[in-house]
A and B are shown apart, each in its own frame.
Chain A
């Protein structure tokens, strides 16, 4: 225990940050060993939002467990549902109609923009600026209105189900998305002026929390955390699912490895998502929105693994089935779990004030880690 906390020699101070703290993005408890202002060791204590989701899913059927996965990484709730639906479809060999595939990708990319917006607003607020928070929520409210008209909910939408989507899109959907894109593209320059080009933010993020490419792979980092260090890890490009292999978008890579590189990866990812939506919004194919499936779904005996790219990294859903209506064992490989394990490695030797910038760029959502 003593070695885990860093050496408690003379002059070292142990402080607790959290679990109730405005900058920890959820209930994360960090035990920090300090020597003056320099960090010697950071240790995360988890479990303050452990809702035993994996045990609970062993008693829910394959149609019922989708709702609880919305609440794991609630900022990319559509993408979580998508991963579970893909796993069930892989097991039962269900063919998803083309219209449903395009609707799913549109919802995924809108969710990715909304999640990155909230990340940007919350991170700027952590570094001391309150105004970007309100700009970010203005964009998020537009996306939430679009989602609410079609899916019925603003945050935890159980819209993507095994077989397709639950309901057809609202007739207003295409016009509202086009209006949103027009408004969004005219406001993006505000982000550059307020935060990205601001000399104070740049000094607080450049050369802070440097993560090398080998360390990123060894610690299992995925998503923008790994792409900021130059590791190519976009599941949409490497193991494409749905129709991502037919779309034209770039994988965003930066090679600095510091907090500013991870920041720029996410800002540019928002623009790539806009490109994807623009390619699809006028070409939604006609057809069914849901494949014909039986009322009670039963997966055959075996194991199935699917991976998708959420806003935070690679989410993997691993289902072991014994042939019944409920899974025998289900495991969610969450991106935040591995991204958090790298915090001690990058924070050692920095000052306490830089820890907040590092945690902000790792983009942690704690219920995703604790499940």
Chain B
């Protein structure tokens, strides 16, 4: 489906979603409380069939965090990006690992690097960082570590 048709279909599905212009793919901003229901619709709607979550990451904008989900469909070959804004002090969002199994590992990585709490995740613990690094969230912009990090 082309971008214009996608934008129309998504506006039908979820009228509260905000469409952002610019970029090569359809960019949608969704509220954290509506994300899980919207994700299920994107996956199950036969005309859209977004069955491939190929990138899940987070950006720290200092005042708030933004979760970024890149979705694609192996049937129709269209792509879209979903962004969810989170509060920097208590970042929480529903886990989508029940819809796309690849999210299990990706969400664990975002949990340890940014501190986002994923509700209903089957197994949320450290993946890449050593023991004892819970709560340190090294990829946040205010991370300071004078012992390990030598700044240029």
Q: A contacts B directly in the complex (CB < 8 Å)? A: yes
One digit per residue, 1 when the CB lies within 8 angstroms of any chain A CB and 0 when it does not, for chain B 97-115 equals: 0001110111001000000
Total contacting residues, chain B, CB less than 8 A: 33
The answer for the CA separation of A233 and B53 in the assembled complex, in Å, is 13
Assess the B138–A55 pair: CB atoms within 8 A.
yes
Q: Which one, B23, B74, B77, contacts A231 given CB within 8 A?
A: B74
* One of A154-162, A166-174, A312-320 contacting the partner: A312-320
Q: Which one, B53, B68, B125, B128, contacts A370 given CB within 8 A?
A: B128
Assess the B77–A218 pair: CB atoms within 8 A.
no
A160 smallest CB distance to B (angstroms): 22
Assess the B23–A338 pair: CB atoms within 8 A.
no
Assess the B101–A50 pair: CB atoms within 8 A.
no
Assess the B101–A47 pair: CB atoms within 8 A.
no
Assess the B128–A341 pair: CB atoms within 8 A.
no
With contacts A218-B101, A220-B100 known, is A302 near B22, CB below 8 A?
yes
Assess the B59–A320 pair: CB atoms within 8 A.
yes
Q: Which one, A4, A55, A220, A370, contacts B54 given CB within 8 A?
A: A220
A225 smallest CB distance to B (angstroms): 12
Query: Is A150 at the interface (CB under 8 A from chain B)?
Result: no
Contacts of B123 in A (CB 8 A): 3-4
Contacts of B101 in A (CB 8 A): 215, 218-220, 341
The answer for the CA separation of A241 and B51 in the assembled complex, in Å, is 23
With contacts A220-B100, A316-B54, A331-B57 known, is A52 near B105, CB below 8 A?
no
Q: Which one, A55, A215, A305, contacts B55 given CB within 8 A?
A: A305
Query: Is B70 at the interface (CB under 8 A from chain A)?
Result: yes
Q: Which one, B59, B102, B139, contacts A338 given CB within 8 A?
A: B102
Query: Is A238 at the interface (CB under 8 A from chain B)?
Result: yes
Query: Is A303 at the interface (CB under 8 A from chain B)?
Result: yes
Assess the A232–B55 pair: CB atoms within 8 A.
no
Assess the B74–A232 pair: CB atoms within 8 A.
yes
Contacts of A220 in B (CB 8 A): 52-54, 100-102
Assess the A341–B102 pair: CB atoms within 8 A.
yes
Contacts of A4 in B (CB 8 A): 123, 125
Assess the A333–B55 pair: CB atoms within 8 A.
yes
Interface of B is mostly: loop
Q: Which one, A3, A329, A331, contacts B60 given CB within 8 A?
A: A329
Q: Which of A136-193 contact B (CB under 8 A)?
A: none
Contacts of B126 in A (CB 8 A): 47
A334 smallest CB distance to B (angstroms): 10
Assess the A341–B100 pair: CB atoms within 8 A.
no
Contacts of A338 in B (CB 8 A): 102, 105
Interface core residue of B51, B74, B100 (most chain A CB under 10 Å):
B74
Query: Is B129 at the interface (CB under 8 A from chain A)?
Result: yes
B30 smallest CB distance to A (angstroms): 17
Assess the A218–B59 pair: CB atoms within 8 A.
no
Q: Which of B11-54 contact A (CB under 8 A)?
A: 22-23, 25, 51-54
B residues engaging A (CB < 8 A)?
Answer: 22-23, 25, 51-55, 57, 59-60, 68, 70, 74, 77, 100-102, 104-106, 109, 123, 125-130, 138-139, 151-152
Q: Can you give 18 contacting A-B residue pairs, CB < 8 Å?
A: A1-B125, A47-B128, A47-B130, A50-B128, A50-B129, A52-B138, A54-B139, A215-B101, A218-B100, A219-B101, A220-B52, A220-B53, A302-B23, A316-B54, A318-B68, A333-B54, A337-B106, A370-B128
A residues engaging B (CB < 8 A)?
Answer: 1, 3-4, 46-47, 50, 52, 54-55, 59, 215, 217-220, 222, 231-233, 238, 302-303, 305, 307, 314, 316, 318, 320, 328-329, 331, 333, 337-338, 340-341, 370
